[in-house]
């Protein structure tokens, strides 16, 4: 890969940019922004405020890191110009345009990846291996929990002005915290049905939903529970799985896993930094771009996860 084009350099775009430049400093990086930032802020990025000008550099890869509501429209434009696509999660806030995106990607034989970085979390990777090895037998149920306090997410920004607060931009816990929905799909497979309670419980000054309690029926026969919120004072991100032969519990913040099966308990603790996940994720994508092999979480799988999330968000209306 010689040239990359970023669509948006907000907080997540900056993180991906930093990791890309760390992994491959030889890549020429361009960015399309509605308003150019101070050149000193991004000294190694060539900025453009005209789309045609940005695309004229013939980028090999486009990083879609603008607001969620713009993802698909932007991705289609980039794909029509032959760019492989790294799309920040979620794929979109609606299914509109996703089939067209898939057609353009297929026509141009492009590599795509929807960035659900928790698939590279050591706790979840270990749990997936345990499940694949049938360590706890048949999975009966799972409970996934993610709660944190939205105003603490971006201390430099008024949370009321963030995209998380605005449903028209794709804000709200269901899509903002789609990591949990994604990794539940990754671990447990296809979803049969969902039932959800979605709304606002807290006094946060936002227009989007601040909580969801979802019951998820899997095609495997397992039943899952997913809780997401914006208002928990102390962050928590956990998973518990009950099977016919044992139990697995994992804490994604502490990096710990406990597996109890066959009258034996195994405890694991993983040391990692958050950026380790982003490095692994981007390395995965770049390897697939070089090799021409499809990524696991491509736009087709991203669409499947989005369908599940929207079914929860709108409670199958």
Q: Tell me the CATH number at 76.
A: 3.40.50.720
Domain membership flag for residue 278: no
Q: Helix axis angle, 178-188 relative to 299-313, nearest 10°?
A: 120
Would you state the pLDDT for residue 170? 85
Same domain, 131 and 73: no
Would you state the pLDDT for residue 40? 73
* pLDDT tens figures, 32-44: 987 666 667 788 9
Pure H helices in the chain: 11-23, 51-55, 71-80, 98-107, 122-132, 173-176, 178-188, 274-291, 299-313
Three-state DSSP string of 167-233? HHHCCCHHHHCHHHHHHHHHHHCCEEEEEEEEECCCCCCCCCCCEEEEEEEECCCCEEEEEEECEEE
Same domain, 126 and 113: no
From first CA to last CA, the distance across the chain in angstroms is 44
* Backbone torsions φ then ψ of 255, nearest 5 degrees: 75, 35
Would you state the pLDDT for residue 45? 95
Domain membership flag for residue 294: no
Place of tokens 């102390």: 234
What distance in Å separates the CA atoms of residue 146 and residue 226, rounded to the nearest whole number?
8
Mean pLDDT per 10-residue section of the chain, whose length is 317 residues:
94 95 96 75 90 96 95 98 98 97 98 98 99 98 98 91 89 96 98 96 96 98 98 98 99 98 96 96 97 95 98 80
Dig out the tokens for 216 from the structure. 């998820």
Residue that terminates a domain, selected from 101, 117, 133: 117
Same domain, 97 and 140: no
Same domain, 97 and 193: no
Domain membership flag for residue 249: yes
Same domain, 81 and 152: no
What distance in Å separates the CA atoms of residue 93 and residue 101, rounded to the nearest whole number?
14
Dig out the tokens for 28 from the structure. 């020429």
Q: Can you give the CATH number for the domain in which 225 is found? A: 3.30.360.10
What distance in Å separates the CA atoms of residue 79 and residue 110, rounded to the nearest whole number?
8
Q: Residue 100: give the domain boundaries.
A: 3-117
Domain membership flag for residue 282: no
Same domain, 254 and 131: yes
Same domain, 86 and 196: no
Cβ atoms of 243 and 138 within 8 Å: the answer is yes
Residue that terminates a domain, selected from 56, 87, 117: 117
Residue that terminates a domain, selected from 53, 82, 117: 117
Q: What is the pTM of this model?
A: 0.94
Same domain, 86 and 189: no
Would you state the pLDDT for residue 33? 85
When divided into structural domains, the chain yields a total of: 2
Same domain, 48 and 133: no
* pLDDT tens figures, 89-104: 999 999 999 999 999 9
Same domain, 126 and 37: no
Same domain, 191 and 138: yes
Same domain, 164 and 265: yes
Domain membership flag for residue 109: yes
Would you state the pLDDT for residue 37? 63
Domain membership flag for residue 312: no
Would you state the pLDDT for residue 39? 67
Domain membership flag for residue 298: no
Domain membership flag for residue 291: no
């Amino acid at each position: 890969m010689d040239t990359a084009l970023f669509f948006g350099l907000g907080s997540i775009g900056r993180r991906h940019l930093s990791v890309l430049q760390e992994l491959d400093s030889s890549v020429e990086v361009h960015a399309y922004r509605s308003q150019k930032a101070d050149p000193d802020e991004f000294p190694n990025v060539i900025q453009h405020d005209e789309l045609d000008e940005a695309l004229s550099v013939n980028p090999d890869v486009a990083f879609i890191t603008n607001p969620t509501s713009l993802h698909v429209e932007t991705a289609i434009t980039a794909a029509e110009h032959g760019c492989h696509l790294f799309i920040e999660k979620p794929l979109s806030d609606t299914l509109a345009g996703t089939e067209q995106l898939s057609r353009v990607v297929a026509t141009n034989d492009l590599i795509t990846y929807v960035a659900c970085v928790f698939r590279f979390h050591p706790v979840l990777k270990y749990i997936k291996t345990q499940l694949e090895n049938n360590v706890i037998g048949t999975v009966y149920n799972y409970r996934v929990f993610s709660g944190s306090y939205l105003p603490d997410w971006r201390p430099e920004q008024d949370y009321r002005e963030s995209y998380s607060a605005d449903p028209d931009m794709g804000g709200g816990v269901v899509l903002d915290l789609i990591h949990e929905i994604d990794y539940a799909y990754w671990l447990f497979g296809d979803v049969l049905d969902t039932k959800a309670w979605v709304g606002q419980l807290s006094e946060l000054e936002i227009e989007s939903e601040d909580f969801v309690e979802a019951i998820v029926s899997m095609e495997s026969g397992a039943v899952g529970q997913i809780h997401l919120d914006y208002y928990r004072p102390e962050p928590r991100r956990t998973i518990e799985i009950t099977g016919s032969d044992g139990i697995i519990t994992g804490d994604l913040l502490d990096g710990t896993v406990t597996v109890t099966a066959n009258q034996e308990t195994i405890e694991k603790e993983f040391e990692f930094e958050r950026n380790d996940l982003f490095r692994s994720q981007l390395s995965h994508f770049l390897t697939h771009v070089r090799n021409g092999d499809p990524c696991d979480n491509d736009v087709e799988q991203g669409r499947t996860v989005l369908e599940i999330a929207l079914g929860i968000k709108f409670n199958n209306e």
